[in-house]
């Protein structure tokens, strides 16, 4: 495949989670998510009970992808921020270094201005971690530590067992 | 683009069901949803028109079990088959790990099948993925219809490499899990070979 796989280690997750938690507190938000542009959840902070994080990630990624398509039609590189306002909860979606999506869910205890400000402050940090991960994935590609590492020894029987 | 999450000890792969309009992509996913236990599946999301034609995509996350201590999670997507939704199809292929092409066996849909495969090749290429390398399975759907073309004839027209081929009647579930299993296997073996 032409695109490098994404490998997230415990330490990466902790770094993301700590930034997301700080953002959630600073922005007075309910939940903060970091999602890969393909719709995979990387990290989350806040109470996710009652939410469906997997669907939220897939739909946010679809939303960003469709908006990217619109941007290109207008000759724009991207629309980096999306905002959806609801009666109680609102969604602030921000593209981070063209690779990930930062989603903030907030209610009337916060405001769009505050969320925007706090998001802006932490995107640089998130982008730096993402860059580390991408560079590492590229350099490990095809090596024993690469994406295939846990699966180097899988057999047909392992796969058959998944369907039994 | 496979996502390996060591923090959660899970592997996430994206599988896309492709094919011409009304070939049965959503029916495949719906059957998988119906027959999968509640703990192994997420919500089935369908972004469809009022007449239940896929507008953007269907999405179904499933978890198949554990391999070498890693939970294996597959995100199944369908594309909208209608010709004029090409921009959406292109978006959904982003980051794909495996493709199922659902062909409509009816004689009148042969041209649509051929055109859809050509479109798939082109859209994969735009994401830097070659049809030759991507894990790929061909499903011949609607085998129960009287107008279905003989399987060897469809294979001759649509087969592009040595991909596994399955005959199916997705509305009854025939061939649906066999197809899924084959594409899962192809994706995992591809990962192993890297």
The partner residue sitting opposite A147, judged by closest CB among B2, B7, B14, is B2
Mean pLDDT of B38-62: 92
Contacts of B3 in chain A (CB under 8 A): 5-8, 36, 38, 40
Q: Tell me which H or E stretch contains A157.
A: helix A156-162
Q: How far apart are CA B48 and CA B55, in angstroms?
A: 5
> Does the pLDDT at position A152 exceed 90?
no
Mean pLDDT of B164-173: 98
The verdict on a CB contact (< 8 Å) between A65 and B94 is yes
Q: How far apart are CA B124 and CA A20, in angstroms?
A: 34
> Does the pLDDT at position A3 exceed 70?
no
Mean pLDDT of B36-51: 92
What is the DSSP secondary structure assignment for residue A97, as one 8-state letter? T
> By CA distance, what is B56's nearest residue in A?
A62
* Angstroms from B146 CA to nearest CA on chain A: 32
The verdict on a CB contact (< 8 Å) between B94 and A9 is no
> By CA distance, what is A70's nearest residue in B?
B87
Which of A134, A109, A82 shows the shortest CA–CA distance to A25?
A109
Q: Which two tokens stand for residue A108?
A: 């009337």
Please tell me the predicted confidence (pLDDT) of residue A144: 60
Q: DSSP labels for chain B?
A: --EEETTTTEEEEEEEEE-STTSSHHHHHHHHHHHS-GGGB---EEEE-TTS-EEEEEEEEEEEEEETTEEEEEEEEE---SGGGHHHHHHHTTT-SEEEEEEE-BGGGHHHHHHHHHHHHHHHHHTT--TTTS-EEEEEE-TTSTTBPPHHHHHHHH--SS--EEE-BTTTTBTHHHHHHHHHHHHHHHHHH-
Q: How far apart are CA B192 and CA B95, in angstroms?
A: 18
Q: How far apart are CA B151 and CA B171, in angstroms?
A: 18
Cβ burial B123-133 (10 Å sphere, 16+ → b, else e): bbeebebebee
The partner residue sitting opposite B91, judged by closest CB among A3, A65, A161, is A65
Please tell me the predicted confidence (pLDDT) of residue B2: 86
Neighbours of A145 (CB within 10 A): 11
Tens digit of each residue's pLDDT (9 = 90 or more) over A27-77: 999 999 999 998 999 999 999 988 999 999 999 999 999 999 999 999 999
Which of B154, B44, B117, B6 shows the shortest CA–CA distance to A149?
B6
The verdict on a CB contact (< 8 Å) between B75 and A151 is no
pTM higher than the cut 0.95: no
Cβ burial A48-83 (10 Å sphere, 16+ → b, else e): eeeeeebbbbbbbbbbbbbbbeeeeeeeeeeebebe
> Does the pLDDT at position A155 exceed 90?
no
CB interface of B with A, residues 16-45, below 8 Å? 42-43, 45
The verdict on a CB contact (< 8 Å) between B192 and A154 is yes
CB interface of B with A, residues 46-105, below 8 Å? 47, 56-57, 59, 61, 64-65, 67-70, 72, 75, 87-88, 91-92, 94-95, 97
The partner residue sitting opposite A13, judged by closest CB among B1, B3, B7, is B7
Contacts of A69 in chain B (CB under 8 A): 87, 91
> By CA distance, what is A147's nearest residue in B?
B4
| DSSP-assigned beta bridge partners for residue B62 | B41, B74
Please tell me the predicted confidence (pLDDT) of residue A1: 40
Of A86-90, A151-155, B130-134, B166-170, give the lowest mean pLDDT range.
Answer: A151-155
Please tell me the predicted confidence (pLDDT) of residue A65: 92
Please tell me the predicted confidence (pLDDT) of residue A2: 41
Mean pLDDT of B109-114: 97
The verdict on a CB contact (< 8 Å) between B68 and A147 is no
Tens digit of each residue's pLDDT (9 = 90 or more) over A28-42: 999 999 999 989 999
Please tell me the predicted confidence (pLDDT) of residue B58: 94
Tens digit of each residue's pLDDT (9 = 90 or more) over B81-103: 999 899 999 999 999 999 999 99
Asked whether the beta carbons of A29 and A105 are under 8 A apart, the reply is: yes
Please tell me the predicted confidence (pLDDT) of residue A143: 67
Asked whether the beta carbons of B18 and B163 are under 8 A apart, the reply is: no
Please tell me the predicted confidence (pLDDT) of residue B173: 98
Mean pLDDT of B29-47: 95
Residue B154, C-beta contacts closer than 8 angstroms, at least 6 positions apart: B103, B105, B110, B113, B140
Place of tokens 């009970």: A49
Please tell me the predicted confidence (pLDDT) of residue A159: 86
Tens digit of each residue's pLDDT (9 = 90 or more) over A122-144: 999 999 999 999 899 888 776 66
Please tell me the predicted confidence (pLDDT) of residue A156: 86
Contacts of B43 in chain A (CB under 8 A): 52, 54-55
Tens digit of each residue's pLDDT (9 = 90 or more) over B127-167: 999 999 999 999 999 999 999 999 999 999 999 999 999 99
> By CA distance, what is B181's nearest residue in A?
A163
Asked whether the beta carbons of B183 and B100 are under 8 A apart, the reply is: yes
How confident is residue B50, by pLDDT bands cut at 50, 70 and 90?
confident
């Amino acid at each position: 495949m032409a695109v490098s796989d994404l490998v997230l280690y415990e330490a990466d997750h902790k770094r993301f989670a700590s930034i997301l938690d700080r953002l959630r507190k600073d922005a007075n938000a309910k939940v903060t998510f970091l999602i890969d542009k393909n719709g995979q959840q990387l990290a989350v902070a806040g109470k996710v009970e009652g939410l469906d994080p997997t669907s939220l990630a897939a739909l946010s990624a679809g939303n960003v992808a469709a908006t990217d398509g619109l941007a290109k039609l207008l000759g724009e590189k991207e629309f980096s921020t999306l905002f959806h306002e609801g009666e109680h909860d609102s969604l602030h979606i921000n593209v981070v270094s063209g690779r990930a999506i930062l989603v903030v869910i907030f209610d009337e205890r916060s405001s769009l201005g505050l969320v925007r400000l706090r998001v802006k402050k932490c995107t640089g940090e998130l982008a730096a971690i993402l860059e580390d991960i991408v560079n590492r994935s590229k350099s490990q590609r095809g090596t024993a530590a690469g994406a295939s590492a846990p699966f180097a020894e899988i057999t047909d029987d392992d796969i058959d067992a998944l369907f039994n | 683009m496979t996502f390996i999450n060591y923090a959660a000890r899970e592997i996430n792969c994206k599988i896309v069901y492709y094919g011409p309009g009304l070939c049965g992509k959503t029916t495949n996913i719906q059957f998988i949803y119906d027959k999968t236990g509640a703990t192994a599946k997420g919500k089935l999301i369908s972004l469809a028109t009022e007449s239940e034609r896929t507008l953007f995509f269907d999405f179904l996350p499933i978890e198949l079990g554990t391999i070498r201590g890693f939970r294996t999670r597959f995100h199944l997507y369908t594309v909208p088959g209608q010709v004029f939704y090409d921009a959406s199809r292109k978006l959904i292929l982003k980051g794909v790990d495996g493709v199922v092409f659902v062909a409509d066996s009816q004689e009148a849909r042969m041209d649509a099948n051929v055109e859809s495969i050509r479109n798939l090749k082109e859209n994969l290429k735009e994401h830097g993925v070659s049809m030759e390398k991507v894990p790929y399975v061909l499903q011949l759907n609607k085998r129960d219809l009287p107008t279905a073309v003989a399987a060897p004839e469809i294979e001759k027209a649509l087969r592009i490499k040595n991909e596994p081929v399955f005959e199916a009647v997705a509305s009854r579930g025939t061939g649906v899990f066999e197809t899924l299993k084959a594409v899962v296997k192809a994706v995992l073996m591809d990962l192993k070979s890297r």
